[in-house]
């Protein structure tokens, strides 16, 4: 039996063409994309597709688009061995994180890819990325068990766990990285899977998608010189339910009373605040320094080594489940699908 793969084409540079007047890149249709990758036929797979109409630059991605992608996968889950989502790179890590939470019980590959150069250009990285993504989506062991059973990003030389990934370069072909989790596969002459890092669970139960996301969330970045009234204004944003607080180092903020009081007041009003670090590598160890410890005692939840992309989408997902504030806080601190590692490092 030939592998059956469903491609969900959302847009992104991979399928873009140059506007003849402005010379700016704009999304174009899937037929054009496939015409430029005749090699796909050499794979001898059965490939179907669902396209966004119109395809979009991923900077336009929003919750409704995530619902569309999740629905395309969930509605067709039983009919395909794997799924490839073609997506712009700008918000790919957010989509990968959101889908990882939305697609409950996932036990098949959902491989997201795109490119830095459009597929029609001579030096495009799109052809290689698309073909490798299809091969990974089709890969199974001799018992028919898919190798990848999670949402992952394939880009140039690596396959990364989706909810651990971050776009790290606007220019390089190796545009993504997971700073706190090893690669799921290295791509060279062959595809070398890192079986220790891949999600282990396997079952043949139906997928349990969850489509509702609550977008009444935002982020606040700490920086030296942060103004008290501006911070209070942000914390008082009407309707806000959750805030990802991007802190210094191991999860630290100022120790001054005005700062901790402002945070404590927001928590008392029922705003859920999640602490993630601004560092690209490592995570929050809230009680290592006073600044982190104060945040902890003010009721801020530790996000350990969550990426910002996973933190914001995990909040949207948990609020979208209709949970109360206490339950959202409790579940934020527990991994759902491999998005964070809980470590309690002691100083030695």
Residues involved in catalysis:
13
Tokens linked to 86:
């073609």
DSSP state of 130: H
Minimal distance in Å, beta carbon 124 to ligand ASP? 11
Angle of CA points 302, 287, 93, to nearest 5°: 30
Rounded to the nearest 10°, the torsion over CA 97, 326, 247, 222 is: 110
**Window 54 to 93, contacts with ligand ASP (CB under 6 A):** 57-59, 88-90
Nearest-angstrom CA–CA distance, 269 and 278: 25
Q: Which is nearer to ligand ASP, 16 or 152 (CB)?
A: 16
By CB under 6 A, residue 116 contacts ligand ASP? yes
- State residue 339 phi and psi, 5-degree precision: -80, -15
Minimal distance in Å, beta carbon 12 to ligand ASP? 4
**Which segments of 258-319 are extended strands (E)?**
272-277, 301-302
Minimal distance in Å, beta carbon 85 to ligand ASP? 12
Q: Token match 């700016």: residue? A: 24
By CB under 6 A, residue 114 contacts ligand ASP? yes
Q: Which is nearer to ligand ASP, 11 or 209 (CB)?
A: 11
By CB under 6 A, residue 165 contacts ligand ASP? no
Q: Which is nearer to ligand ASP, 13 or 275 (CB)?
A: 13
Q: How many residues bind ligand ASP (CB under 6 A)?
A: 10
CA distances from 318 to 151, 261, 271 (A): 18, 26, 13
Please enumerate in sequence order all residues whose Cβ is within 8 A of that of 49, keeping only pairs 6 or more positions apart, or say none.
6, 7, 8, 9, 30
Q: Report which secondary-structure segment, H or E, holds 263.
A: helix 257-268
Q: Residues 5, 8, 9, 13: which binds ligand ASP (CB under 6 A)?
A: 13
Minimal distance in Å, beta carbon 58 to ligand ASP? 3
Q: Token match 């979009």: residue? A: 56
By CB under 6 A, residue 12 contacts ligand ASP? yes
Question: Could you count the other beta carbons within 10 Å of the beta carbon of residue 216?
Answer: 13
β-pairing, 166-167 vs 208-209, is unpaired
Binding map of ligand ASP across residues 189-228, x = CB under 6 A, - = no contact: ----------------------------------------
Q: Which is nearer to ligand ASP, 36 or 275 (CB)?
A: 36
Q: Which is nearer to ligand ASP, 131 or 240 (CB)?
A: 131
**Which segments of 226-318 are extended strands (E)?**
242-247, 272-277, 301-302
Q: Which is nearer to ligand ASP, 13 or 247 (CB)?
A: 13
Q: Which is nearer to ligand ASP, 59 or 204 (CB)?
A: 59
Minimal distance in Å, beta carbon 112 to ligand ASP? 11
Minimal distance in Å, beta carbon 90 to ligand ASP? 3
Name the closest residue to ligand ASP (Cβ): 88
Instruction: Render 48-99 in DSSP notation, one character per residue.
Output: EEEEEEEEE-GGG--HHHHHHHHHHHHHTGGG-SEEEEE--STTHHHHHHHH
Minimal distance in Å, beta carbon 149 to ligand ASP? 26
**Window 30 to 59, contacts with ligand ASP (CB under 6 A):** 57-59
Residues contributing to the site for ligand ASP (CB under 6 A): 12-13, 57-59, 88-90, 114, 116
């Amino acid at each position: 039996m030939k592998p059956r793969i469903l491609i969900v084409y959302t847009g992104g540079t991979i399928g873009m063409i140059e506007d003849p007047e402005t010379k700016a890149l704009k999304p174009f249709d899937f037929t054009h994309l496939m015409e430029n990758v005749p090699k796909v036929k050499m794979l001898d797979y059965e490939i179907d597709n669902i396209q966004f109409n119109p395809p979009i630059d991923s900077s336009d991605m929003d919750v409704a688009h995530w619902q569309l992608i999740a629905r395309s996968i969930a509605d067709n889950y039983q009919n395909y061995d794997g799924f490839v989502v073609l997506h712009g790179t700008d918000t790919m890590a957010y989509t990968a994180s959101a889908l990882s939470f939305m697609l409950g019980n996932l036990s098949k590959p959902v491989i997201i890819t795109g490119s830095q150069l459009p597929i029609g250009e001579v030096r495009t990285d799109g052809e290689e990325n698309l073909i490798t993504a299809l091969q990974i989506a089709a890969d199974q062991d001799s018992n028919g068990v898919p190798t990848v059973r999670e949402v992952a990003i394939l880009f140039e030389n690596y396959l990364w766990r989706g909810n651990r990934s971050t776009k790290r370069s606007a220019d390089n072909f190796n545009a993504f990285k997971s700073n706190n989790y090893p690669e799921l596969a290295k791509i060279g002459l062959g595809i070398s899977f890192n079986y220790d890092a891949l999600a282990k669970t396997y079952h043949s139960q139906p997928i349990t998608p969850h489509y509702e996301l609550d977008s009444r969330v935002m982020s606040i970045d700490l920086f030296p010189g942060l103004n008290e009234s501006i911070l209070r204004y942000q914390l008082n944003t009407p309707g806000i339910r959750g805030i990802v607080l991007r802190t210094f180092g191991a999860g630290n903020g100022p120790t001054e009373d005005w700062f901790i009081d402002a945070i404590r007041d927001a928590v008392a009003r029922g705003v859920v605040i999640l602490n993630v670090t601004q560092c690209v590598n490592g995570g929050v160890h809230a009680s290592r320094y006073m600044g982190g410890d104060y945040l902890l005692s003010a009721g801020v939840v530790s996000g350990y080594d969550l990426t910002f992309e996973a933190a914001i989408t995990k909040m949207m997902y948990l609020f979208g489940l209709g949970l109360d504030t206490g339950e959202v806080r409790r579940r934020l601190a527990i991994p759902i699908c491999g998005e964070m590692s809980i470590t309690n490092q002691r100083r030695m």
